[in-house]
Structure 1
Amino acid sequence: MPRVLIFAPSPLLTVTVEGDASGTDLHVHAGGQGVWQSRMLQTLGAEVAICGVLTGESGRVVRHLLEDDDLTVHAVHREGRGGAYVHDRRSGERVEIVEIAGDPLSRHELDELYTLTIREAMTADLVLLSGPVGDEVLPDDVYRRLASDLTAAGRTVVVDLAGGRLAAALDGGVRLAKVSDAELEEADASAGTSVDGLIAAASRLRDAGARSVVVTRAGHPAILVDGDEVSTVQAPVMEAVDPTGAGDSFTAALAASLAAGDSLHEAVALAAAAGALNVTRHGLGTGDGEAIRRLSTQVEIVRAGREDGEQLSPDDLAGRLEVDER
């Protein structure tokens, strides 16, 4: 069983109000990017551990919820305000009632979390770096240091980050970076919305420190840049019930497959299937492992090459994609 360690610095306590003809109900779960990713990792058969900081009353509840889900929790405990939200979904759409990012981590708490993560990473097949709830929880440079130190220690590092945290992690060096087109456009003003702009921006992320980059594009083929090779990744387009969490499912499946020793193309196919299937469900990061594996056989990964075997340039590929999407 592949072992994956998730750096999840600030797990959330989530409360969702649900309702139908039979009445109103409350659903209480642990949440946050790393937690949602952990659910999909478990679905796909990985052994998952989480490293994070659990704060105050909400943190004590989160720990119980995580352990009830059979997750191994390595945590720094502290007092204060932990991350949490209350959402009302009785209308069919998520309506924010309250959201709390939680208190920033002190220097001592950061030191403890950093050491804890390095220690537990030594027995993991892969380390997934996920983001905090709020921008002020911890400095971006923590991601650079972690990426650099974990890579130096021989760990495989995958990141699903944006903005300054992504730039910092790339500066440390990572095996694979997953980013959405919207995040890429926000981080790189020259990317624009065109396919050629996204390919060029993804190539710059590769040059900045990622061996491979995957750009997800809701409703359109994902773009994979692996060294000098550019490919498109097309999963069956499913009827969306709730698109929230599809990106985390994509990343988690990538991590599960790479941790198991699969090839990059096998991992990307599984990831595309996990993301496609997740939009058909209401739960974040949820799915059926066998359904995902079967759907992955329908994912098409097309290398940017001509019939004579000559590699297409990024501009040539962009032109082909633009035509296909019209």
Structure 2
Amino acid sequence: MPSEVVLFAPLPVLTVTIEEQGGEPDIHLHAGSQGVWQARMLVTLGASVTMCSVLGGESGIVLRHLIEDEGVTVRAVEGSGRNGAYVHDRRGGEREEVADAPATPLTRHELDELYGLTLSAGLDAGAVVLSGPSDHHTVHDAVPADAYRRLAADLRAVGRPVIADLGGERLTAVLAGGVTVLKVSHEELLEDGRVDDTGQDAITEAMSALRAEGADNVIVSRAEEPLLVLAGDTVSEVRMPKLQAADTHGAGDSLTAAVAATLAKGGSIEEAVRLGAAAGMLNVTRHGLGTGDVEAVLKLRDLVTVTAVGSSSRGPSARMTPRDLAERARGS
């Protein structure tokens, strides 16, 4: 039976995208937000996914159907307001925003219901992912940051692995509750004032500070540069082949999803990072956010190397892929 991952995705958004097909407008309706993209990759990787959200208004009705159609179990609070929605026109090759309707902030009653629903679902899960609302399409204080602290603390108290992919005040709050894995980008560290520059030394120092604040393991994505991972007392670089990018959006969410899928099955942090790097790598080659092919992800995983910072690629502390081992065996 597939391992279950619970996603705290408080306010998914409805996305309407206009593209061009054969000289005619081609209109697509999808569910969006960080949690939705993570759920999409989790389903691709074979995980059983339950998404906990607030759904309200016409956009909420449509969102429920769209999310369930992707193979995700939806446990939702019926909201008194509406979920966010936006319309993008991509017929010119770039994303042009036509309209943006932000979500309604959650009431105290809705937040309490969502909290209890998520905690209940998390008790039966192999791992829980805490994702943020889409800030660009959501009123800034729609979901109070302290909800993340409380959820993280309570889920950890009952022994559930907690994975967080957050920035800003939500990152600070979730650290106070404690997380198993924190995934953050170097841009978020810079924006939050946690680093003055994005050099490796500065990021490594920030990762140590994040662990001291409450993260057992820290993963930092760095765009074109190798991922950095702090696990135990070791900082490692995660390298992978550079594939041609069609759309870099959603790569970090695919990484987070693969990490959660691995930990939910009892895998190690290194196994989780390898699969996460492969999932993110494949996602950039596609236009669909959080999409991919499980067979391709597993093949790409064999090309990912995890090497302790400061060691040589063939030194005794270097990590070797299955392909490396096969080549060495043939050479001997």
TM-score by length of 1: 0.92
Deviation, 1:190, is 3.5
> Are 2:106 and 1:101 equivalent residues in the alignment?
no
Moved more, 13-22 or 142-151: 13-22
Q: Tell whether 2:132 aligns with 1:131.
A: yes
Q: Residues 43 and 71 of structure 2 are in contact (CA less than 8 Å); yes or no, is this contact kept in structure 1?
A: no
Write the mapping of 1:1-326 to structure 2, written as runs, cut at 5 A: 1-133=2-134, 134=138, 135-304=140-309, 306=311
Q: Which amino acid aligns with 1:34?
A: G
Change (3 A) 1:13 1:306: closer
Equivalent AA in structure 1 for residue 42 of structure 2: L
CA contact (8 A) 1:206 1:227 kept: no
How far apart, in 1, do the equivalents of 2:23 and 2:261 lie?
A: 38
Structure 1 residue ranges (4+ consecutive) displaced by more than 3 angstroms after TM superposition:
305-311
1:301 shift after superposition: 0.4
Contact 2:54 2:77 (8 Å CA) reproduced = yes
Q: Indicate the larger mover: 66-75 or 205-214.
A: 66-75
Give the secondary-structure state (helix, strand or coil) at the position aligned to 1:224.
strand
Aligned residue identity for 2:83: G
Q: Which secondary structure state, in structure 1, belongs to the residue aligned with residue 37 of structure 2? A: helix
Return the alpha-carbon distance in structure 2 between the equivalents of residues 47 and 93 of structure 1: 34
The answer for unaligned runs of 5 or more in structure 2 is 319-332
The equivalent of 1:321 in structure 2 is: none
| Per-residue Cα deviation, 1:43-86 (whole angstroms, up to 9, x for no partner) | 00100000010011100110111111221110001232321111
Counterpart residue identity of residue 201, structure 1: A
Give the fraction of aligned pairs with identical amino acids, expressed as a percent.
53
Q: 1:77 to 1:310 in 2, by over 3 A?
A: closer
Alignment check: 8 A CA contact 2:307 2:317 kept:
no
Q: Deviations over 1:132-186 (max 9, x none)?
A: 1232211100000000000001111000000100110010000000001100111
Task: Give the whole-Å Cα distance in 1 for the aligned partners of 2:124 and 2:208.
Answer: 32
* Partner-residue secondary structure (3-state), 2:106: coil
* Kept in 2: contact 1:191–1:201 (CA 8 A): no
Secondary structure class of the residue paired with 2:290: coil
Shift in alpha-carbon separation, 1:291–1:310, aligned structure 2, 3 A: closer
- Determine helix, strand or coil for the equivalent of 1:192: coil
- Number of residue-to-residue matches in the alignment: 311
CA distance in 2: counterparts of 1:180 and 1:19, whole angstroms: 33
Query: Partner of 2:6: helix, strand, or coil?
Result: strand
Cα pair 1:191 1:198 within 8 Å, conserved: no
SS at match of 1:69: coil
